[in-house]
A and B are shown apart, each in its own frame.
Chain A
Amino acid sequence: MPVEMRKDLFADERDDNLNEVGKPTQRQDMVGHVTGRSPFYDDHLFDGLCHIRCVRSPHHNARIRRIDTSAAEKMPGVLRVVTGADVPGNLNTLLSLRDFGLDDEPLLHTEHCNYRGAPVVAIIADTERQAREACAAVRVDYEVLPHVLDVEEAIAPRAPVVNPPYPDNLFVYHGKYNHQKLRFGDVEAGFAEADHVIEKRYQMSPIEQAPMETCGAIAAPETNNRFVCYTSTQGLFFSLGTAAKLLDVSSARLHFIGGTVGGGFGGKVDSLHEPLAILGTMLTGRPVKYQFDRAEEMQVGAPRGAERWYIKTGTMADGRIVAMQLKGYFDAGATTRLSSYAIVKCVGHLPGPYTIPHVYADVYCVYTNRTPATAMRGFGITGVDYSVESHLDVVAHELGLNPIEFRIMNAYRDGDMKAHRRVAKNCALIECCQVAAEKAGVKLAPHLQEMASMTGGGEGARGQIPNYTALDEHGRVEGFARQSYGGGDKATPMDEFIRPMPAPQPARPVEPARAPVPQPQPAATPVPSGATPRQPEPSLEPAGAPPPASPPDERRRSPRRFSSVSGMRRR
């Protein structure tokens, strides 16, 4: 399809010595793609490769009473049955590598399954079919608990607790805030002066990234007591650090190879496969593959989470938006993964690319018994943009304005102060709207046709932080009670969404005891063939000191913080 270069726009702003943009340049990986030789993670052959399949919870919310793997252990081809007790540090949150949030997700669930598809037992067998058959022989006795699948029901009083480290079903920021807040000017004053006040609710669905290559990883013993891991991950070092933490090994012992991803779209960052494949290799001494089948990719693979938005705008009869109030609920699913961070990005983006004098937003990261959500293209932005832009269409329609003109009128321009208190620069919305109007055959009013992003921005109040910004009903920008992991704060009034905690939490997380690091066993036939170099049998490493004794449930229950990248702190 021909690309149209609109060099007339911002012509004097741009150095036009672009020597790549605007002309086709062949991708470096194209020959690999058209010859079928691009090395996806699964395109590495190993002799004696064995396979992992997982037993998964069929319930949205259930307590595990008993796991009986005795029949599965005796099934043909089964090399090892793995449960949470085999995982050295069986609790993690993805952003713990950046000290952001509490560990809230086990690699294999031991006591509680908070979403349908939560993995409980992993079986390593010679063939995939044998692993599947053995999975079918595992008996898990569940006590089914009430579940909640709606964000607002999840934060209503007496809702089932989805994610125990966060008993209010809300992520906690900085140890004390249960939402992200944006305040700019005084929306109530804005609504009072507005000619039209319109409020609507918007709801989007979770969206599966659905890459053609399902998520997976292959691990194998390597020399020098290391492990190689071929993976489909989009975040190689992120997955490396996560695996090092869950397995409690130095990241220097993990050799990750990736970079060829069969479609990611954000959904290949969750690092579920690498740790389990490596653990399988540690426990069996064999090369091990853990790959989602298509059904798992769709049911268990983390989607873009759904969002619900309530948006209220105050608009003048001439089309100027004077106030926008947003309340947003991100459905994180059962655990945090990356949703907490998506909201930070989202709030920095509000109220979209518009200059509005009064803006107010509260955005919540809510846990429900759905599949945990994760990143996807424009993560944190897409759902709210859909809602804001849908709302602007509704408002334009109700005011009898052309929706493109309505956007040009309110578009931000260079020099305008944005609601999160940064000056807008390199704006281009007006020009984009003008081109869209031209393509759509919409005749713009002459003054809108003449407007430009680089003129008139920042004039007067447009460029200023408002003199007055309204605070909460409690007189501060505040929102969470104590007893959170931040601990020490004084109790503060709870806002309307917060209900008392059912049980006191430990003021500070305790460092959990760890299961012993699994030692590689002498390999039966660990010799990879094909593209991978021949590898010697893994040697046993010294057993080391026994782990500190500590009741097992303390280990499972205590959220812990982990504050270094790639596990440096604990080496």
Chain B
Amino acid sequence: MARKKPIQFVHNGSDKAVFVDEGENLLDVLRRGVGDLTPKYGCGQGTCGACTVIIDGAPRLACLTLAETIEGQSVETVAGLAGGQLSPVQEAFMAHFAAQCGYCTSGMLMSATALLRDNPRPTRDEVVEAISGNLCRCTGYEAIIAAVMTASGQQAA
């Protein structure tokens, strides 16, 4: 029997303990182990950003994060964004039609959320930089940028 490793971390504010395989990535652990299906698999190799989560305040790619390394850390996903009502970023994504197929949206929301916590009034260039690791094949970038600007309380254009 393959050796499993116990890890404990904070998932969207609540404690979680899971057993992981050696070398298993955080994306699989969140989706299959924890049952949080909001981060998505798009490439498994750090190129698309669909799996973006926030670890201890910083946006990280779950597919490239070894699950063993998050012991004691805080992991946030889209599942934790809406506490009873949608977050301002989620509201702004809706208002700007910033999702088409929706597959990149989870990752986009986490990159945007991390940015706005750090930098509540970013410039457009800073928004572009913050989502530069998130691919959207349905090409909604302009709508997404506008949504993030609006969520920061600034003019979209």
List the interface of chain A (C-beta within 8 A of B). 1, 24, 26-27, 29-38, 40, 42-43, 45, 49, 76, 127, 129, 210-214, 261-265, 291, 293-294, 530
- A512, chain B: closest CB distance, angstroms: 38
Q: Is the CB of A212 within 8 A of B103?
A: yes
B43 touches A262 (CB 8 A): no
CB within 8 A of B42: which of A32, A214, A261, A264? A214
Whether the Cβ atoms of B137 and A34 lie closer than 8 Å is no
Contact check, A213 vs B101: say whether CB atoms are below 8 A apart: yes
Partner of A36, one of B37, B101, B135, B138: B37
CB contact under 8 A between A294 and B102, given known A31-B94, A212-B135? no
| Selected contact of B38 from candidates A29, A37, A262, CB within 8 Å | A37
CB distance B42 to A213 under 8 Å?
A: yes
Residue of A nearest to B80 (CB): A36
A262-B40 contact given A29-B102, A30-B99, CB 8 Å threshold:
yes
* Docked CA distance A275–B142 (Å): 39
B37 touches A212 (CB 8 A): no
Query: Which 6 pairs, one residue from A and one from B, show the smallest C-beta to C-beta distance?
Result: A36-B38, A33-B102, A262-B103, A36-B78, A294-B43, A33-B99
Give complex CA distance A99, B81 in Å: 51
A33 → chain B, closest Cβ, in Å?
Answer: 3
Q: Please tell me which stretch of B44-52, B67-75, B118-126 contacts chain A, meaning at least 4 of its Cβ atoms lie within 8 angstroms of it.
A: B44-52
Q: Mark B3-46, 1 if CB is under 8 A from A, else 0.
A: 00000000000000000010100000000100101111111110
- Chain B contacts for A212, CB-based, 8 A: 40, 42, 48, 50, 101, 103-104, 135-138
Q: Mark B68-90, 1 if CB is under 8 A from A, else 0.
A: 00000000011101100010001
**Nearest residue, chain A, Cβ from B99:** A33
Residue among B77, B97, B104 making CB contact with A27, cutoff 8 Å = B97
In the docked arrangement, what's the CA distance between A49 and B137, Å? Answer: 29
Q: Is B150 an interface residue (CB 8 A)?
A: no
CB of B111 within 8 A of chain A? no
Q: Which residue of A lies closest to B50 (CB)?
A: A212
B106 in contact (CB, < 8 A): yes
CA distance A76 to B60 in the complex (A): 32
Which one, A1, A35, A294, contacts B142 given CB within 8 A? A1
Q: Please, how many angstroms separate the alpha-carbon atoms of A26 and B50 in the complex?
A: 23
Rounded to whole angstroms, the CA-CA distance of A212 and B106 in the bound complex is 12
Given contacts A213-B103, A263-B137, A294-B47, contact A35 B42 (CB under 8 A): no
Cβ contacts under 8 Å, A291 to chain B: 41
| Identity of the chain A residue whose Cβ is nearest the Cβ of B77 in the assembled complex | A36
Q: Most chain-A CB neighbours within 10 Å: which of B78, B102, B106, B135?
A: B102
Q: How far is the CB of B150 from chain A (nearest CB, A)?
A: 13
CB-based nearest B residue for A31: B94
Q: Are A33's CB and B142's CB within 8 A?
A: no
Nearest B residue (CB) for A127:
B21
Instruction: Compute how far the CA of A294 lies from the CA of B42 in the bound complex, rounded to whole angstroms.
Output: 7
Residue of B45, B103, B143 near A211 (CB, 8 A) is B103
CB closest chain-B residue, reference A29: B102
A-B contact list, 29 entries, CB within 8 Å: A1-B142, A27-B99, A30-B99, A33-B102, A34-B78, A34-B90, A34-B99, A34-B109, A35-B82, A35-B86, A36-B79, A40-B103, A45-B37, A129-B21, A212-B42, A212-B50, A212-B101, A212-B103, A212-B104, A214-B42, A262-B103, A263-B100, A263-B101, A263-B103, A264-B101, A294-B44, A294-B47, A294-B48, A530-B35
Chain B residues, CB < 8 A from A27: 97, 99
A294-B137 Cα distance, complex, nearest whole Å: 14
Is the CB–CB distance between A24 and B103 below 8 Å? Answer: no
B112-138 contacts to A (CB < 8 Å): 135-138
Most B CB atoms within 10 A — which of A29, A38, A291?
A38
A32 contacts which chain B residues (CB < 8 A)? 102
**B105 CB–A CB distance under 8 Å:** yes
In the assembled complex, the CB of A36 is this many whole angstroms from the nearest CB of chain B, namely 3
Is B105 within 8 A of A34, CB to CB?
Answer: yes
A-B pair count, CB < 8 Å, reads 99
Please indicate the chain A residues that have their CB under 8 angstroms from the CB of B86 in the complex: 34-35
Residues of B within 8 A of A49 (CB): 32
Chain A contact residues: helix, strand, loop or mixed: loop
Quick one: closest B residue to A37, CB to CB? B38
Interface pair A26/B94, CB less than 8 Å apart: yes
A406 shortest CB reach to chain B, Å: 30
Residues of B near A34 (CB, < 8 A) are 78, 86, 90, 93-94, 99, 102, 105, 109
| Chain A: minimal CB distance from B99 (Å) | 4
Which B residues are CB-close (under 8 A) to A36?
37-39, 77-79, 105-106, 109
Q: Which residue of B lies closest to A1 (CB)?
A: B142
Tell me if B45 and A294 are in contact (CB < 8 A): yes
A193: shortest Cβ distance to chain B, in Å?
46
CA distance A49 to B28 in the complex (A): 13
Assembled-state Cα–Cα distance A103/B126 (Å)? 53
Closest-CB distance, B106 to chain A (whole angstroms): 4
Name the one of B45, B90, B97 contacting A24, with C-beta atoms under 8 angstroms: B97
Given A34-B105, A213-B103, A293-B43, 11 more A-B residue pairs with CB atoms under 8 Å apart are: A34-B102, A35-B38, A36-B37, A40-B40, A42-B37, A42-B41, A49-B32, A211-B103, A212-B103, A212-B136, A262-B102
In the complex, what residues of A have CB within 8 A of residue B102's CB?
29, 32-34, 38, 262
Q: How far is the CA of A35 from the CA of B42 in the complex (A)?
A: 18
Residues A33 and B40 in contact, CB atoms below 8 Å apart: no
Query: Measured between alpha carbons, how far is A26 from B99 in the docked complex, in Å?
Result: 11
Closest chain B CB from A212 CB (angstroms): 4
Per the bound structure, the CA–CA distance linking A38 and B101 in Å amounts to 9
For residue B135, which residue of chain A has the nearest CB? A212
Contacts of B82 in A (CB 8 A): 35
Which B residues touch A1, using CB under 8 A?
142-143
Q: CB-nearest residue of chain A relative to B79?
A: A36
In the complex, which residues of chain A have a beta carbon less than 8 angstroms from the beta carbon of B100?
Answer: 263
CB distance from A519 to the nearest CB of B (A): 29
The answer for the CA separation of A211 and B135 in the assembled complex, in Å, is 10
Shortest CB distance A532–B (Å) = 12
Q: Which residues of B contact A33 (CB under 8 A)?
A: 93, 99, 102, 105
Min CB gap B51→A, angstroms: 11
Name the residue on B nearest A262 (C-beta): B103
Q: How far is the CB of A215 from chain B (nearest CB, A)?
A: 12
- Give the residues in chain A near B136, CB-CB below 8 Å: 212
Contact A211 B101 (CB under 8 A): yes
Chain A residue numbers with a CB within 8 Å of B37 are 36, 42-43, 45
Bound: A303/B103 CA distance, A = 20
Does B137 contact A210, Cβ atoms closer than 8 Å? yes
Which of A26, A32, A49, A262 has the most chain B CB atoms closer than 10 A to its own CB? A262
